[in-house]
A = this chain, B = another copy of it.
């Protein structure tokens, strides 16, 4: 509901009545509306990291790992569009700044590690890995936001995006 209607447009009333439970139950499990939203946010980040980790398991080449990570991420987001929409809402809201920052840091530092390794091995061009990680992340995010919901086949979009990022960073 947060994804569909937005955080502010979704009332606790909406939430509990959609689950056919009384209002009190909500507060038995969550301390506030913000709390629920944060939980979803954290779960979204955790899920994304899990699917990235699975995808790169066993791949030794750092550049290939990054490519696999991008593909896995886009597929994950494709399957969990609601979670992604929620993430987006959190971006602009001061009250979720902290959760967003912390999620980001984790995701970025995962990528930074592969980038550093790749640079050392000469597979990835030299540069500030922190900046490059953000660039990759941004590429993925926008594609996910504006293209995956559209009609065009995901596979084509995903392949193009992987190619874009690999070109951008390969040495």
Contact = CB atoms under 8 A, between A and B. Distances in A.
Given A139-B135, A143-B138, A127 B160 contact: yes
A147 B134 contact: yes
A165 to B, nearest CB: 7
Nearest to A85: B92
Interface in A1-34: 4-9
Interface string A63-104: 000000000000000000000010011111111000000001
Nearest to A130: B147
Q: How many copies make up the complex?
A: 4
B127 A134 contact: no
A56 interface: no
Contact-residue size bin, chain A (C-beta under 8 Å from the other chain): 35 or more
Chain A interface main SS type: helix
A79 to B, nearest CB: 20
B94 A92 contact: no
What 10 pairs across the A-B complex have the smallest Cβ distances?
Answer: A138-B142, A89-B92, A168-B168, A88-B92, A138-B138, A164-B168, A167-B168, A135-B164, A138-B139, A131-B160
